[in-house]
Structure 1
Amino acid sequence: MITVRHAADRGRADFGWLDSRHTFSFGHYYDPNHMGFSALRVINDDTVQPGAGFDTHGHRDMEIISYVLEGEIAHKDSEGNVKVLPAGEFQLMSAGSGIYHSEYNHSSDAQLHFLQIWIQPNVIGEPPGYQQKDFGQNSGLTSIATPHGDNGTLSIKQDATLHQLILEPQQHLEYPIAANRNVYVHQITGQLLVDQTFLQPGDGAKVQMQTSITLANNSDQIVKALVFDLP
């Protein structure tokens, strides 16, 4: 069963310096029908104006992934990490027992566009951690985060795997789904066909009670999406 969450139906928070679209309930946006999906709790599609950003604030017991689509994030946290996260790179901050951080648009003249993703961990009170990596732009599925950090992936504290999906024009692939697993697809660019369901940028698809899905690009443009394999 595939259930689509259309981009236009997402919550929105516009503070001038920040324009954020919420796939799931977040902040002042509350919808009891969209509280998350399995361990996936937040997908915020954030556009931040030049020089602006999130002042120092705290988190605990949450796996927080940032993926930059355009621009650069200036990151600083209480563990001593001072980093710049450019477009195309993934950051995984494990909040664990508690961490404080700030995120700013590193540019004084260009917008920052990034996805902020929260996944609930399956262990709590662990020491906080920070990981960052560029996984390239290879076509097909590229594993980004896995439970044990296998094969150079980021290590996430949950029985979940995050994949980057890039499909060239007219490319398709089959994605097998293990028993009792859930899949969520978040569309980034282009038009993706999930079985017989079309996704546009910003759309999401919950996949439940299926043994596989077909992911296809029938267009003449490159398609990019994120694929979450969840408990």
Structure 2
Amino acid sequence: MITIRHSQDRGRFNFGWLDTRHSFSFGEYYDPQHMNFSALRVINEDVIQPGAGFPTHGHRDMEIITYVLDGAIEHKDSAGNTEILPAGEFQLMSAGDGILHSEYNPSSKDDLHLLQIWIQPHTPGGVPGYQQKAFDKQHGLTTIATESGDNGTLKIKQDAVLHHLMLKPEMDLDYETSRERSTYIHQITGNLLVDNVEITPGDAAKVTEQSRISLVNKSTETVTALVFDLP
């Protein structure tokens, strides 16, 4: 079964320094029909103005993945990590039993465009952790995060897998899963057919009770998306 969550139906707030869209209930946006999807709790699409950002604040018991689409983000946390995350790279901060961090757009002229993703861990507490990596994204699926951390993936504290999808025009892919698992596809660029249902940038497809999903790029540009395999 496929359920589409259209981009324009997401929660949206523009604070001047921040233009943000929420796929799930977050902050001032509350929708009891969209609280989470399996262990996936948050997907926020943020555009942050030059020199602006989120001052120091705390998190706990959450796996927080940041994927920069354009620009770069400056990250600082109470575990001593100070990093710049450029476009195309992935960051995973495991909040564990508690961590403080800040996130800023260090540019004086360019906007920062990113996706921030929260996944609920299977076990609360633990020592906070930080991982950051640039992946050689191939056409098809590139695996970004896994519970095991095998093959150079980011190691996440949940029985979940995050893939980056990239399809050239007219390229297709049969994605195999399990009827007992859930799949969430967040579209980034291009138009994608998910079992002949079209999604466009900012849209999402929630797939349950299926063992195979057909993914087809029928547009004239390269399609990119994030594909989550969830318990």
Amino acid corresponding to residue 26 of structure 1 in structure 2: F
Query: How do 1:18-167 and structure 2 match up within 5 A?
Result: 18-167=18-167
Q: Deviations over 1:133-153 (max 9, x none)?
A: 011231110000000101000
CA distance in 1, matches of 2:88, 2:123: 29
Aligned pair count? Answer: 231
Question: 1:139·1:167 contact (CA, 8 Å) conserved in 2?
Answer: yes
Q: Deviations over 1:43-82 (max 9, x none)?
A: 0000000000000000000000000000000000000000
Runs of 4+ in 1 over 3 A off after TM superposition: none
Amino acid corresponding to residue 206 of structure 2 in structure 1: K
CA distance in 2, matches of 1:12, 1:221: 27
CA distance in 2, matches of 1:137, 1:177: 21
CA distance in 2, matches of 1:10, 1:223: 21
Amino acid corresponding to residue 82 of structure 2 in structure 1: V
CA distance in 2, matches of 1:97, 1:13: 30
CA distance in 1, matches of 2:186, 2:60: 25
CA distance in 2, matches of 1:125, 1:219: 44
Q: CA deviation at 1:15?
A: 0.8
Q: CA deviation at 1:170?
A: 0.7
Question: 2:179·2:208 contact (CA, 8 Å) conserved in 1?
Answer: no
CA distance in 1, matches of 2:73, 2:178: 35
Q: Deviations over 1:142-174 (max 9, x none)?
A: 000000101000000000000000001111010
CA distance in 1, matches of 2:95, 2:175: 31
Unaligned runs of 5+ in 2: none
CA distance in 1, matches of 2:116, 2:87: 13
Q: CA deviation at 1:26?
A: 0.3
Aligned to 2:182: 182
Amino acid corresponding to residue 3 of structure 2 in structure 1: T
Q: What is the SS of the residue equivalent to 2:198?
A: strand
Query: How do 1:211-222 and structure 2 match up within 5 A?
Result: 211-222=211-222
Aligned-pair identity (%): 67
Q: TM-score, normalised on structure 2?
A: 0.99
Question: 2:186·2:227 contact (CA, 8 Å) conserved in 1?
Answer: yes
Q: Deviations over 1:89-111 (max 9, x none)?
A: 00000000100000000211000
Amino acid corresponding to residue 204 of structure 2 in structure 1: G
Aligned to 2:224: 224
Q: What is the SS of the residue equivalent to 2:92?
A: strand
Q: CA deviation at 1:14?
A: 1.2
Aligned to 1:206: 206
Backbone CA RMSD of aligned residues:
0.6
Q: What is the SS of the residue equivalent to 2:125?
A: coil
Q: What is the SS of the residue equivalent to 1:61?
A: coil
CA distance in 2, matches of 1:33, 1:179: 22
CA distance in 2, matches of 1:127, 1:180: 31
CA distance in 2, matches of 1:162, 1:132: 14
CA distance in 2, matches of 1:190, 1:219: 7
Q: TM-score, normalised on structure 1?
A: 0.99
Question: 1:88·1:136 contact (CA, 8 Å) conserved in 2?
Answer: no
